[in-house]
Chain A
Amino acid sequence: MLNVLDSAVPVECWSCSVAHNESTLFCPHCSKIQPPPGGNYYSVFNLQPALNIDLAALETAFHRLSRKLHPDRFARATASEKEWSLADTALLNDAYRTLRDPLRRTEYLLKLHGAEIGEEHSGKDRRPHEMGASRAPADLLEEVFELNMQLEEMRAARSSGEDDPALARNLSEAKAKFEGLQAEVDHDLREQWTAWDNGGDAEKQAAQKAMVALLDRRRYLSNLVREVNETMGA
């Protein structure tokens, strides 16, 4: 599963020919930029896969690496160096975008460990989110049903130019409730992070399973909140 992580295939630096580990962005010997390394988003930052990470340190590392890798630094370099700078910086940006966001980070780490997660499909068979889809968590069915009714009413009122303060109040309350539920999920996720980071194989397995379910719920809730925001005209 994690074979990419510890890949230590030695390769030769294109510039000084000294052999180095495949996963470095720069040659340790001559400091020249290297083609995009193997490895994963964590190894870009020299981090071990974990869910609790130091975000301030991550940002500092992102800025430090950006200064060295960014295409702006290679505007007058050779064509290959330009190409590698572009590819390496794209990798760095993709990695930073994923790791700094708690949900994306969780999803990414779970995928690294082989978990099947909701939006894994390729573009071809992915469908847009639909309100009231069957994935609604069982304990929320009733509330989601009611919310959908209110959203329909709201849309109807909007399109006929009416103003319904009572309805708007109901929607705001519903939104607050779902945001509260989101916060609960976030809290539960954080507990599982620690369990995963510190646990042995068995704990990791259990935490992984719990997190897959929590992420599904979280995604469902944020879609609901987004829908309310859009309907209420933000």
Chain B
Amino acid sequence: MAEGRVVGIDLGTTNSLVAYMEGDKPVVIPGVDGSNLVPSVVALDPMPEGGTRPTVTVGNSARRALIETPERVIYSVKRLMGRGLSEVQSELKLFPFRLAEDVEEGEVPRIQLGELKFTPPEISAYVLRQLKRNAERFFGAPVKQAVITVPAYFNDAQRQATKDAGRMAGLEVLRLVNEPTAAALAYGLDRGKVGTIAVYDLGGGTFDISILKLRDGIFEVQSTNGDTHLGGDDIDNLLVAIALDEIQNEHGVNLRADAGAVQALRKAAIDAKIQLSTQPVARFDIELPNNDRYQREIPRAVFENLIAPILQRTAAPCKQAMLDAGVVPEDIDEVVLVGGSTRIPAVRQLVDDLFHLGARGKKPHIELNPDEVVALGAAVQADILAGSSAATEELLLLDVTPLSLGIEALGGTTAKIIQRNSTIPASATEHFTTGVDGQTNVAIHVVQGERELAADCRSLARFDLKGIPPMSAGLPRIEVKFLIDADGILHVSAREQRSGQAAQIEVKPTYGLTDEQVETMILESFDHAEEDFNKRLLIEARNEADTILAAVDRAPQSPVWHQLSGEEQSSIAAARDRLASVKLGDDTNSIRQATLALDHATRRFAELMMEAAVTTAIRGKTMDAAGEELSDEVTAPHPMAPAEFK
């Protein structure tokens, strides 16, 4: 397989993951820190002295910057992908980011981050590049092709923006796969089953429902529906808004302008939300700038009342999806839960009600980690596309387009040409003519959505059919072919039939980057070159060696060092010296091996350290090593929280 591996990527609102097929099993690839989840957070380090461009960090390290330098951090950027200026403006009311001041209507909005400006696809590209690097580090080989998942209800512009992000990160995106469909693939892999399944996917920022029919390894999506503006973020925002109001009313402190304080509140809200999935009550205890404390106790019942209107918004899409698939709840054999927000007991109850599960003695599927299942499914799809494995050769996904495609007709109405829930690829051919003698241009406006008026639908693109030979009005016959590809992205071609001339089309996307713009945004070109790749691996190997060498050099100061035998101490010293000398050379593999050997030699020492640390922690003393990690946590719950949420 000369072309290398194809990885599966879940580019999430809150967290992102990369996975691959190990034999016949999809596996998530961990990052350097051992964590499977890479938070979809991008931060700019401080501008270096005399430097020209600050370093960009991604993931957990970027998340730590949220409270210290909130103006240099961005998260949940998926909510901004493929959106126009006015949509982004309304979205940003809920988030502490601001638009670059020189943004104009009609161009892709850019977000101001410290001294730099980025479009949403560029931000996503940084997350993708991190995942790509994690995979390359894991395989020790370049990774150039990927499958990326998107919410099923993403429109054309959002899909295109995701594909652009992949290209900027140096990845050829072989396919965009819908998240619920990917989840079904992850679940369906190990059981050759037949039946109808519903996938309920409530993530950080988006909600999808898909209904699929499984038969002989074919996953045929019957219908899909959703809301690309609904998820755990909305719950967090609601809790934060309530807390901000209460703090202002009761303590006279307006924290809204203090981005760091809002982030601390958000973190406390998220922690409370997570706690309430397993505990009957959660507590807020926040120290305010005037040394007052904001303390609240939130019983689960109060929380459930608060979020009920948000959760209820998932009901209508579920009912519509069943209607479109021509099924009733009793026809659904299984329900799969996806997305972190499905851990909330109230969500599970709602799903039970919607699909009459309890009444039929059924339970939803939660066996696979709801945070990982989409990435696992993406890895399965990547394996299908690579076409090289027996595990997936019988599998095939047949997905649908979530939104109807239409063209603006006379009077501003929408003429639907491809209905929603049509299996993709799908096509439609329409004929156009001229209204005036000698007319050589015809303007066409393509929209996506279900509404009667084009203005109420999502504008996808406007284009001119140019170069029509001058003829009497109504005589030219221009055939325009609309094709939605397997990624759910539209392609248009046209031909004037009377003269046989191919009409020239310039499709101008209403929201989106041009090819040229994407080219200029491709992240550092060294990600492409083989030679540079090897150079990077060498640098990374040296960095890892430095980290472990520094730790080993501090070891003799540790109280547990003396618990090691003399033999153990000298074998550590030998491995240390070997690594120190190998590191000076440029053989990546030798450095890796020497690093592993030193790691191995120090294993017992590490265990002793760990035991000592756990003992200290239980005694209630602060662990030195953990101090840094703990600093951005909110203080421990106060035992005497006085009041409830109003």
Query: B-contacting residues of A (Cβ < 8 Å)?
Result: 63, 66-67, 70-73, 75-76, 86-87, 89-91, 93-94, 96-97, 122-128, 234
The answer to whether A93 and B422 touch (CB under 8 A), given A63-B216, A70-B396, A125-B409, is: yes
The answer to whether A93 and B424 touch (CB under 8 A), given A71-B485, A124-B432, A128-B452, is: yes
Segment from B306-314, B410-418, B536-544, B581-589 that makes contact with A:
B410-418
**Is residue B357 contacting chain A, with contact meaning CB distance below 8 A?**
no
Chain B positions within 8 Å of A97 at CB level: 422-423, 426
Could you say which of B174, B323, B430, B483 contacts A234, with CB atoms under 8 Å apart? B323
**Is residue B33 contacting chain A, with contact meaning CB distance below 8 A?**
no
Chain A positions within 8 Å of B452 at CB level: 128
A/B pair count, beta carbons within 8 Å: 89
Q: How far is the CB of A67 from chain B (nearest CB, A)?
A: 6
A123 in contact with B415 (CB, 8 Å): yes
Query: A-contacting residues of B (Cβ < 8 Å)?
Result: 3, 174-175, 215-216, 218, 319-320, 323, 381, 384-387, 396-398, 406-407, 409-411, 413-415, 417, 422-428, 430-433, 452, 483-486
A126 in contact with B386 (CB, 8 Å): no
Q: How far is the CA of A87 from the CA of B481 in the complex (A)?
A: 11
Q: How far is the CB of A4 from chain B (nearest CB, A)?
A: 14
The answer to whether A124 and B426 touch (CB under 8 A), given A71-B485, A76-B386, is: no
Most buried by A among B413, B483, B486: B486
Chain B positions within 8 Å of A126 at CB level: 409, 413, 415
B427 in contact with A63 (CB, 8 Å): no
Give the interface SS of chain A, mostly helix, strand, loop or mixed: helix
Could you say which of B323, B397, B411 contacts A127, with CB atoms under 8 Å apart? B411
Q: Nearest B residue to A70 by beta-carbon distance?
A: B396
A123 in contact with B427 (CB, 8 Å): no
Chain A positions within 8 Å of B483 at CB level: 86-87, 90
Q: How far is the CA of A93 from the CA of B421 in the complex (A)?
A: 12
Could you say which of B381, B386, B397, B485 contacts A86, with CB atoms under 8 Å apart? B485
Chain B positions within 8 Å of A87 at CB level: 425, 427, 483
Q: How far is the CA of A124 from the CA of B427 in the complex (A)?
A: 18
Q: How far is the CB of A173 from chain B (nearest CB, A)?
A: 21
Q: Please name the 8 residue pairs, one residue from A and one from B, whose CB atoms are nearest each other, closest first.
A: A123-B415, A75-B385, A90-B425, A90-B427, A93-B423, A71-B486, A123-B407, A122-B431
Chain B positions within 8 Å of A234 at CB level: 319-320, 323
Chain B positions within 8 Å of A67 at CB level: 218, 396
A86 in contact with B425 (CB, 8 Å): yes
Chain B positions within 8 Å of A123 at CB level: 406-407, 409, 415, 417, 430, 432
B422 in contact with A127 (CB, 8 Å): no
B431 in contact with A72 (CB, 8 Å): no
Chain A positions within 8 Å of B406 at CB level: 123
Q: How far is the CA of A90 from the CA of B428 in the complex (A)?
A: 9
Q: How far is the CA of A124 from the CA of B423 in the complex (A)?
A: 25
B413 in contact with A76 (CB, 8 Å): no
Chain A positions within 8 Å of B384 at CB level: 72
Chain B positions within 8 Å of A72 at CB level: 175, 381, 384-385, 396-397, 486
Chain A positions within 8 Å of B410 at CB level: 124-125, 127
A71 in contact with B319 (CB, 8 Å): no
Q: List 23 A-B contacts (CB under 8 A).
A: A63-B215, A67-B396, A70-B396, A70-B486, A72-B175, A72-B381, A72-B397, A75-B385, A75-B387, A76-B385, A86-B486, A87-B427, A90-B426, A90-B483, A97-B426, A123-B407, A123-B432, A124-B410, A124-B415, A126-B409, A127-B409, A127-B413, A128-B414
Most buried by B among A72, A76, A89, A94: A72
Chain A positions within 8 Å of B433 at CB level: 122, 124
A71 in contact with B413 (CB, 8 Å): no
Q: How far is the CA of A30 from the CA of B427 in the complex (A)?
A: 28
The answer to whether A91 and B430 touch (CB under 8 A), given A76-B3, A128-B413, is: no
